[in-house]
Structures are given as C-alpha cells and as structure tokens.
Amino acid sequence: MQDKTFGYRIAKTIDADVVVCGGGVAGAMAAVAAARAGASVVLVERYGFLGGNATAGAVAQFNSWQTANGRRVVAGLADEVVARLGRYGGAGEHATFVMSTGHRMDRVEYAPEVLKLVLDDMVQEAGVRPLLHASVLDVRVAGRHIDSVHVLTKSGVVELRAQVLIDASGDIDALQRAGATFLELDDGEALQPATMMFRFGPIDFARFEALSKTEIAALARRGYDDGQLARAALHSSRDPFSADGWFNIGRLGIDATDAMALGAAEIEGRRQAWKAAQYLRRCVPGCEQGQLRAFGTQVGVRETRRIVGDHVLTSEELLRPEQFPDAIAAGAYPIDIHPAAGGELRYEGLGDDHAYQIPYRSLIPVGFDNALAVGRGVSATHSAHAAIRVMTISMAVGQAAGVAAAMAAQPSQAGHVRAVSTPALRERLLGDGAKLA
C-alpha cells in the first residue's frame, strides 16, 4: 500500500532469499554480492546509514591489502568500494604505512561520510532492499533451520523470512537470539578493547608526518605516562577533504554486548578523546592550531562474540600458513592484539610475502543449516581473530558469504549452506575479481 506522503508502508512480513543482519562493510558486501548473484535480499541495519565501524565508528582507513612485499591478497568488491570513493573524491591512493612496530602495510584513507554514499549506491544499484533503523528482536528456529527474524522498526515489529540468514551484526545478535554456540576466551585472555575515534584539526601534516618513529613513540609514551592518552600511540589517518585527521588512541576495556557497559564506554570514550585532543594541541608538532572536531557516532568495537563454526581458525594456521581447499578469502594483516589494559599492544608480524586464508567452514555456525556469520563473529580463536578482524578482510569474507548464500538459496539447495559446492563458489569469486591466496 502506497503512503500518501513518501515511499511505501512497510509490510508486516517480508520474504526474501537472503536476509543480512548488520550493514557494516561485511554485511553490505554480503548483501551486494548475493543480490548480484541473483538472490532477493533484505539488509537490516540499526542506524540510518550503512558502514558499521567504517562509518559509525569512523575508523577512516582500509589497511593491509597486500603482503609486505606488495602482493595483493584482497580485491573484488573491496576494490570497487575504493574506486567509488575515489570518484566522489572521498579516498586517497593506496599508500605505504609503517606501524609503530615496524611492520609495513598499505592502506587507503577515506572520508567516513562519503563511504555512506558509496554503500547506499552499491546496495540500491544491486537491488538490495535496505531496512534501516531496525534492530533484531528475536529469531524463530525449527530444529536446525532458522525460519524467520523479527526486527523492531519505527513501523512496529516486522517478520523477515528467508532461505538463508547472514549474521553480519558484529556482536552476532541474530545467531545469539537463535541459540548459537560461541567460543569462550582462554584463560588469561580478555576481549580486545573498544576505541572512540575522534576527528582533530587542522593539522600541519608536513610537520606532523616529518616526526620520526622514535619521536612519535616518545610523544605517545609521554602522553600515556602523564595520563593524557589512554594508549601509548598517536595513530591517525588523514581526512581526504581537509587538513584534519581521525585519531585512534583510546582504550576501553569492555564487553560491548553488555548494554550498561557499552553506554558507559561511550561516555568515557568521549572524555578520553577530549583529553587526547588537548594533549595533541599542547605537545605534538603540527597540531598546535587544532581542535576536536567530531567524535565517532559510536565506539569502535574490536571483539565480542565469535561463533563456534564447522572449523575454528587458529593463529597457528595463519602463521604456517595453512592452505584450505575451501578458502574463500585471504589476508595479510598481522596478529595485532590490543590488551584491555595498559598502553601497549601485542604484535606478531608476518614474513614479507606471507598471506593466509579463511576457510568457508569458519563462516558456518554449528547447529544450523541455513546460516552464515561474517565480520568479527567468524569462527576463529582470539589470536586468529586479531588478524582477520580488519575491514579489508571483512569485505572479502562478506563478498564470499553473499555469493554462497545466493547459491544455497537456489530451490535445489533449499537454503543448506553446507550443500554449496566450494569449488564452484571459489570459481565464482575468482571470476568476480576476488583473491583467495
């Protein structure tokens, strides 16, 4: 029924081949890939825009597209995102970045607000039906089959029925409501902390970037020791439209699935950002004229729930690296663990031409036949997750999940994700420009 004012009134029940819960970059790529593969797709997102940590969290850089010596291991839809950002003028070129640990990687700095437009374009052009301002309420399950997802919207509760569910919600809320099994942290481990990104400027980047790694490290340590920085780092990315930078120097040790803790972290994150901005202005060359311009819409969350999948990916497999016959994506980001407390990070680098693979089985939650998980909820140990969690890899995994879901949604497959032919899936991904090794 058409509304007299704008658009269409939402139906109380919506049928689709694929429902994707979560519109971060993993979920958006999954939705686009599934739709381009011929599936009807509904994409559920709690905000009024897509992108997740890439937009709401304002991470502002896509990094580690290649090995240290320059071999590309991430492409496909992720490349298309960057190309479209470039056409809007919202991204820089691929450029080499040297981490404080000395690891060399390439990255693309981008404008989070422009990424919102790019993702809008991609999902609409693919024919995806985006359902924004919608939160997962509950999930109906019959045995091993997920029948429907109920979401709370401004129009009330809406039932979404699909052949395949892709949970890209970050915290894996849909599968949690369905009763999925999740990995426990090992003794002595803690969830990686969240960070409140903030925008600061103007910055004299000629002076700021002329600082040596030793000088940057000394300034970061001084700020941390003086209690002005929550993390001993001055990590930032440049905004393509201005002389501002997005800074990633907060540390919030929380379980972001705890609503009260998450709210408290948002408040503390803004306080940390304000103090850090004052330190930049007072003490860091090139930042003397700057001021805090904006906070991220939300804290950027690194880790919460991780499913128990048909295969649990380990750091040992990444470091070998294990060659998986069902590999559907590759990566070269190092094992990078931010402890919940303290100013440092734990880091395990890779060789110059070292890349690893993510198997399709790590996307399939045990106990369900028609579901996949992407993003930071993939089945991986705490240390393996510390490598594969970055957004470039998440886009590649999302693309693979979308194609797999479209294949599983065919009448002959009846939604069974394990019935998907992995050789056929890999062939389709390679044909679409993805890298698998």
Indicate if 63 and 124 belong to the same structural domain: yes
Indicate if 122 and 165 belong to the same structural domain: yes
Indicate if 93 and 151 belong to the same structural domain: yes
Compute the mean pLDDT over every residue in the chain, rounded to the nearest whole number. 94
pLDDT tens track for 26-50: 999 999 999 999 999 999 999 999 9
CATH number of the CATH domain containing 52 = 3.50.50.60
Q: Does the structure show a pLDDT above 60 at 8?
A: no
SS (H, E, C) the chain: CECCCCCECCCCEEEEEEEEECCEHHHHHHHHHHHHCCCCEEEECCCCCCEHHHCCCCCCEEECCECCCCCECCCCHHHHHHHHHHHCCCECCCEEEECCCCCEEEEEEECHHHHHHHHHHHHHHHCCEEECCCEEEEEEEECCEEEEEEEEECCEEEEEEEEEEEECCCCCHHHHHHCCCECCCCCCCCCCCEECCEEEECCCHHHHCCCCHHHHHHHHHHHHHCCCCCCCCCCEEECCCCCCEEECCCCECCCCCCHHHHHHHHHHHHHHHHHHHHHHHHHCCCCCCCEEEEECCCCECCCCCCECECCCECHHHHHCCCCCCCEEEEECCCEEECCCCCCCCEEECCCCCCCEEEEHHHHCECCCCCEEECHHHCCECHHHHHHHCCHHHHHHHHHHHHHHHHHHCCCCCCCCHHHCCHHHHHHHHHHCCCCCC
3 lies in some domain: no
Indicate if 88 and 135 belong to the same structural domain: yes
- Sole residue written with tokens 């590649």: 396
Indicate if 69 and 165 belong to the same structural domain: yes
Q: Which pLDDT value is given to residue 338?
A: 79
Indicate if 173 and 38 belong to the same structural domain: yes
Which of 267, 295, 323 is the endpoint of a domain?
295
* Structural domain boundaries, residue 100: 13-188+303-431
Indicate if 145 and 57 belong to the same structural domain: yes
Q: Which pLDDT value is given to residue 347?
A: 73
pLDDT tens track for 220-237: 999 999 999 999 999 999
d(CA 291, CA 211): 20
Cis peptide before 321 (omega within 30 of 0): yes
44 lies in some domain: yes
Indicate if 307 and 289 belong to the same structural domain: no
Q: Does the structure show a pLDDT above 60 at 291?
A: yes
pLDDT (average), residues 114-126 = 98
d(CA 219, CA 217): 6
pLDDT range class, residue 351, cuts 50, 70, 90: confident
Label the pairing between strands 156-167 and 13-21.
parallel
Indicate if 180 and 261 belong to the same structural domain: no
Helix axes 391-408, 422-431, angle to 10 degrees: 120
Q: Does the structure show a pLDDT above 70 at 63?
A: yes
Which of 269, 295, 321 is the endpoint of a domain?
295
Q: Does the structure show a pLDDT above 60 at 292?
A: yes
Q: Does the structure show a pLDDT above 50 at 2?
A: no
2 lies in some domain: no
Smallest Cα–Cα separation from 32: which of 162, 128, 167? 128
pLDDT tens track for 234-268: 999 999 999 999 999 999 999 999 999 999 999 99
427 lies in some domain: yes
1 lies in some domain: no
By percentage, how much of the chain surpasses pLDDT 70? 95
Indicate if 31 and 86 belong to the same structural domain: yes
Q: Which pLDDT value is given to residue 298?
A: 97
pLDDT tens track for 394-435: 999 999 999 999 999 999 999 999 999 999 999 999 999 999
pLDDT (average), residues 73-88 = 98
Indicate if 288 and 322 belong to the same structural domain: no
7 lies in some domain: no
Pull the structure tokens for residue 85: 């950002």
As for how many domains the chain has, the answer is 2
pLDDT range class, residue 280, cuts 50, 70, 90: very high
Indicate if 180 and 222 belong to the same structural domain: no
95 lies in some domain: yes
pLDDT range class, residue 349, cuts 50, 70, 90: confident
pLDDT tens track for 122-139: 999 999 999 999 999 999
32 lies in some domain: yes
pLDDT tens track for 311-346: 999 999 999 999 999 999 999 999 988 777 665 667
Which of 295, 318, 336 is the endpoint of a domain?
295
By percentage, how much of the chain surpasses pLDDT 90? 88
